[in-house]
Amino acid sequence: MKRETKLCHYGQPSRPGPANPPVVRASTILHDTVASYRATKAARETDDSVLSYGRRGTTTAHALMEAIADLEGGEGAWLYPTGVAAIAAALMALVRPGDHLLLVETIFGATRTYCDKVLAEFGVSYDLYPAATTDLTPYIRDNTRLVFVETPGSQTYEVMDLPALCASAHAAGLVVVADNTYGSGWLCQPLALGCDVSIIAGTKYLGGHADVMMGSVSARGEAAALVRKATHLSGQSLAPDEAYATLRGMRTLALRLERHEQNALALAAWLDARPEVLRVLHPGLPGHPGHEIWKRDASGSNGLLSVVFAPGIDTEALLDNLQLFGVGSSWGGFESLAMPIAPERSRPSLQGLPEEAQIVRFHAGLEHAEDLIADLEAGLTAVTAKG
């Protein structure tokens, strides 16, 4: 069955029945007999779809777990109240005191901060490695356990060669964890490309409507068993309303991403031709670091693009002038966003640019591209006329 068709049918109850799994709110699950209670407890040891207690998820969360595991190609998927909670849970499941980690230089900021402020207290250290790395040998120490990847990278979208990197990591006995929020299980399949664990901040495209917070960890092999155990023992779960909203969002994931991609590419082309713009960062553009690898390993791009403006362009005034682009954190919802960003200037995609150049990250929403471009044009005209 095609993936688009599966999105429409994930978690559907048996017929006659509702088209979506109902929101089942429960802490206690009642049994008539002690024997039934005991049998349920025993069954959940090996089966996450057993309805045993609210902390282990009700049927609503179970439907979503199955859907995400299938989308990501994992042996299982586990759910968390935010994307960062999913990242923290995966790291806590796989890392031990004294371990050394390798984080890609373009890693999502909060992932690195978690390592700096929490894992460091457990004697866990890390080094950064370049996004273009295919051979990890120079970075591996005796106590290295885990490699964290994210492709394309946060904010600047450098593409990683996951098959090559995973081969190098596995040859050294390391576990590979991917932040797959950019592709959200649709554009890119890190587990199929060799990773052991794939994390999605479902807050972004899975929910897709800027009204849900959630995260997932999908995994295979030994890593799956470790993530499952740590998740259950640490009491992680996702509330049924959030699980419902996420699965509802996933019904239109393919359709939305198609439009987000078209709009982002339209904005990229228009901005690239503007005199105020020095560079547009987007993995779908020829010449972008790793563009050929992205074409090989992914099925498309999403609504994100970052734009480097020429020194002298007042980007803050530009953002204040935009009507359709809201200023705010996160992305992946139906709405367009713009936000000033300040990634490290050492990143490959930022080479050769003046230090004073300001960078803005845009998220192209589902509006009509012509309206978005007209908004940008009006905003740029206002700031350049003033300057």
Ligand X SMILES: *Cc1c(COP(=O)(O)O)cnc(C)c1O
Binding residues for ligand X, rule: CB under 6 A, are 82-84, 108, 154, 179, 181, 201, 203-204, 213, 215, 330
Non-local CB neighbours of 81 within 8 Å, separated by 6+ positions: 213, 214, 215, 236, 237, 238, 239, 242
| Residues comprising the chain, all counted | 387
The DSSP letter of residue 105 is T
**Element at 232 (helix H, strand E):** helix 221-233
Of 104 and 307, CB closest to ligand X: 104
Contact, 249 vs 66, CB < 8 A?
no
CA–CA separation, 148 and 129 (whole Å): 10
- Min dist CB 304 to ligand X, Å, is 9
Q: Which two tokens stand for residue 121?
A: 């207290």
Of 84 and 227, CB closest to ligand X: 84
For 55, counting Cβ atoms within 10 Å of its Cβ (0-12 exposed, 13-18 middle, 19+ buried), the class is: exposed
Of 59 and 301, CB closest to ligand X: 301
Place of tokens 């390391």: 174
CA–CA separation, 267 and 374 (whole Å): 10
Angstrom CA distances, 125 to 56, 114, 141, 146, stand at 32, 11, 11, 11
Task: Name the pairing type of β-strands 304-309 and 277-281.
Answer: antiparallel
| Closest to 257 (Cα-Cα) out of 33, 71, 57, 45 | 71
- Min dist CB 136 to ligand X, Å, is 21
Of 79 and 318, CB closest to ligand X: 79
- Min dist CB 55 to ligand X, Å, is 20
Contact, 133 vs 139, CB < 8 A?
yes
Can you tell me whether residue 359 is helix, strand or coil? Answer: strand
- Min dist CB 225 to ligand X, Å, is 24
Of 147 and 357, CB closest to ligand X: 147
- Min dist CB 236 to ligand X, Å, is 13
Of 140 and 205, CB closest to ligand X: 205
Q: Which residue is nearest to ligand X (CB)?
A: 83
The sheet carrying 277-281 orders its strands as 277-281, 304-309, 359-363, 337-341, 326-327
Of 50 and 148, CB closest to ligand X: 148
- Min dist CB 155 to ligand X, Å, is 9
The DSSP letter of residue 180 is -
- Min dist CB 94 to ligand X, Å, is 17
Non-local CB neighbours of 256 within 8 Å, separated by 6+ positions: 205, 208, 334, 366
Of 83 and 240, CB closest to ligand X: 83
Of 22 and 81, CB closest to ligand X: 81
- Min dist CB 157 to ligand X, Å, is 11
**Which long-range contacts does 127-130 make (Cβ < 8 Å, 24+ apart)?**
127/100, 127/101, 127/102, 127/103, 128/102, 128/103, 128/104, 129/102, 129/103, 129/104, 129/105, 130/104, 130/105, 130/348
- Min dist CB 332 to ligand X, Å, is 8
- Min dist CB 210 to ligand X, Å, is 11
Of 277 and 364, CB closest to ligand X: 364
